[in-house]
Amino acid sequence: MSMFGDHFESGGLALSIIAAGQFVNLVTGSVGYLLMMCGYERLMRNTAAMSAIVNISADVLLIPRFGVNGAAVARAITRISQNLIAVIFVWRRLGMPIFRSQRRIA
């Protein structure tokens, strides 16, 4: 981050934390879009609502104590929880395993 200037160095940890959350998004794939395309828009809406509650709670708990890094952790937790909940719904409702360790539901 220092190649952009001295002021950007302090955001390196926050960027790494957000990237870790985004990595989970990459690994799980487009499970949210899959749910919506298969007629489970309500499940995705509920997932988004639950994730919003998680995000607000994590923001309230982490930002006052850790600042920008707390906000990054809250965002990563939100992204990870939303994707993992959607993975479970895709597995249970559509019978499609997203990870190799999941068994196919027939």
Residue 57, domain member (yes or no): yes
| Assigned domain for 10 exists | no
Q: Quick check: is 11 in a domain?
A: no
Domain count for the chain, please give it.
Answer: 1
Q: Which structural domain, as residue segments, surrounds residue 50?
A: 30-98
Residue 18 lies in a domain: no
97: left (phi over 0), alpha (psi -120 to 50) or beta: beta
Residue 65 lies in a domain: yes
In a domain, 58, yes or no: yes
Residues 6+ apart with CB under 8 A from 67: none
Q: Would 5 be classed as within a structural domain?
A: no
> pTM of this prediction?
0.82
Asked if residues 39 and 47 have their Cβ atoms less than 8 Å apart, the reply is no
Using CA atoms, how far residue 59 sits from 11, 63, 69, in Å, is 17, 5, 11
Report if residue 67 sits inside a domain: yes
Reading the chain (106 residues) residue by residue, the pLDDT tens digits are 667 777 777 788 999 999 999 999 999 988 999 999 999 999 999 999 999 999 999 999 999 999 999 999 999 999 999 999 999 999 889 888 777 766 666 5
